[in-house]
Structures are given as C-alpha cells and as structure tokens.
Homo-oligomer: A and B are copies of this chain.
Amino acid sequence: MLTRRRDRILSIIIGEYVSKGVPVSSDVVARKGLGVSPATIRNEMIELEEEGYLVQPHTSAGRIPTDKGYRHYIESLMSYARLSRDEQFLIRHQFHQVERAVEEWTRLAAAILSGMVHNVALVTLPKPVEARLKHLELVSLQELLVLLVLVLKEAKLRQQMVTLEETVSQEELSASARKLTSAYAGLTASEIAAKDLKLTPVEEQVMKTAFQLMRNEEGEEYEEPYIDGLRHMLRQPEFASSDKIAAIMEMLEQKSLLKSFLPRVLTGEGVRVVIGRENKENVMRDCSVILTRYGIPGEVGGAIGVMGPTRMEYQRAIPTVSFLSTVMSELVSELYG
C-alpha cells in the first residue's frame, strides 16, 4: 500500500509523462502544488522506485512509470472516471444518424473510439451465443447452382453457393425453402440437427450446408474485429521506429493472432486493461490494451477496445471504451428485442 502522498506523486508523474512523453523530474512534480520541495519529492521517488512503480531511463533523468505504476494508477481510476454528459450525448447522436445495422454501428464505434483516444480501436461484430434460424431462402442462379440465404435471428445474413446434383426449378426451390423455414425457424443448429424430418435429397443437401453455416456462427471466439485509427497510433513518438510498427502490423493483419488474443482477455466482466509486459505477445511489450465486452450476457456479445502505447491516456480511454460498450449494448438490445 502506498502512502497518500506517494500515491499523489505517482499520479502526477503519470499524468505528466502521459501528456509530455518525457521523463518527469522532481522539480516538475514539486511545482504541482504539493507544498513540499523537490528534495522531498526525490526521497519519495526513491521509495517509489524501490517498490517498482517508477524507473529512471538513466542516472540523470527524471522518472517514468513502470507497468506496475500504471497498474496501480489505473486501479484507482477505474471506479469513478466517466465521460461528460455532453460527450455522451454527442456520441449517442452519431449512432442515431447512421443506418440501423450492426455493421454500421460496429464501424462507427471503431471510428468514434479511435478518434477520441487517438489510438487504434478494435470492435468486433456482435456474435450470438447460439445462432437461431429466422428464415431460409433458395435462389436458383444457374442450372445446378443455387444460392442458399440464411436470415438469422439477429437480422444477420449468411450465404453460400450450393451445387446440386440434379436440376431443380425455382418454384420447387421456393417451395422447399418455405417448407424448411416453417419447419426450422427459431431453432438453433443443434435443434435443427436433432429434428428428424422427411426431406428430399436436395433439401437434405441444403440443410447440411445451412447447418455448417450456423455452426460457424457459434463458438467461443469473437469475430474478426473492425480496426480503425492506425493513423492516430502511428503518430505517437513511441512508434518512431518502423520495426515496431511492422511487428504490430503483422499481428493486426494476422487474424489468427488477433482472434486468439481477444477472448483470453475477456473472461470476466468489466473493463480489462492489459499493460505492457502483461501482454503475452512480445511485440506488445510497449503497448496497452483496454478491452471490454458489450451485448446481452448469455445471448449475444462482442468485444470493443483500444490498443496503444503503454503511455496512453487511460484516464480518457477507459471511460470512453466503457461508454461505447454501453451504447453498443443498448443498440444491440434494441435489435434483439
């Protein structure tokens, strides 16, 4: 546990370092109205360094926060930081101005978030815990080629070409589609599989494909996220070396890494902050990630978050992520009724 004053000093140092990007000297801290001299601050700083909250880049430099320092700072921040009423209103307003569609919302959320925190925003599409069929349609394209269209409960479309073994007219296809829709509407993939219905071979084939498509919708993993704001993050001085940029780019373009990265962090409620070396990936050792879920627990959910250098405006980023998650939850709830 830190004394009140050390806590205060740590906050000041983090605040200064985050905004200026330069190691913070005892002088600067002393001028922030603590009523003590730089020498006293120095003594405290030695303590804070010994306890692992601060480090010096070199002997004659000011201090910068360690991951542990940020961690402490953030814990005390999490509870009370909120966006202002005005900002909340402004954000809500923007969502009401776009198409009523999850893709649009997700894209907008990423755009707003990245713009507000000047870093990369990651937002996945909402994904239902279990896919439920709403409607099924078959459209004949060419002789043997049929387009299978699934409308899922949450107004999501999935499509897949199916190559039939025999020619079937559009009328017959429509009849089959009607039959299958009325038989299976409202069911999940497993419920559909369980139901033993008398189907024609063509219908069998269609449902096999539909089953696959629905299975793909389920699962623990989140969708591939929308990414926005790379341009902002790259302006940060910590990304002056193009090596780091390339390494991070590699991670972001390699969907596999990203996917495996998201859910691990999100087993639990509330906003998660992963700071610097707390990240498993080595390339991320100078980055922090602020992530949270949104959606309706047990029904549908997505992830929303920010990625940026460890030296990040947590004070602003955390409430922003938090608020946007709330808004996305509301929007999704509306849609899922």
Contact = CB atoms under 8 A, between A and B. Distances in A.
Interface of A: 99-101, 134-135, 137, 139, 141-142, 147, 149, 151, 155, 157, 159-161, 174, 178, 228-231, 234-235, 239-242, 245-246, 249-250, 253, 335, 337
Number of chain copies forming the complex: 2
Given A160-B99, A234-B242, A151 B155 contact: no
A155 B147 CA distance: 7
A135 B335 CA distance: 25
A240 B244 CA distance: 11
A245 B245 CA distance: 9
A184 B245 CA distance: 51
Contacts of A101: 159-161
Contact of A161 (B155, B159, B161, B178): B155
Contacts of A147: 151, 155
B160 A149 contact: no
B157 A159 contact: yes
A93 to B, nearest CB: 19
A253 B121 CA distance: 13
A26 to B, nearest CB: 32
A181 B157 CA distance: 19
Given A99-B160, A134-B139, A230-B253, 5 more contacts: A134-B141, A147-B151, A147-B155, A230-B249, A231-B249
Contacts of A137: 135, 137, 149, 151
A141 B156 CA distance: 11
Contact of A242 (B134, B157, B160, B241): B241
A228 B245 contact: no
Contacts of A139: 134-135, 151, 155
A53 to B, nearest CB: 30
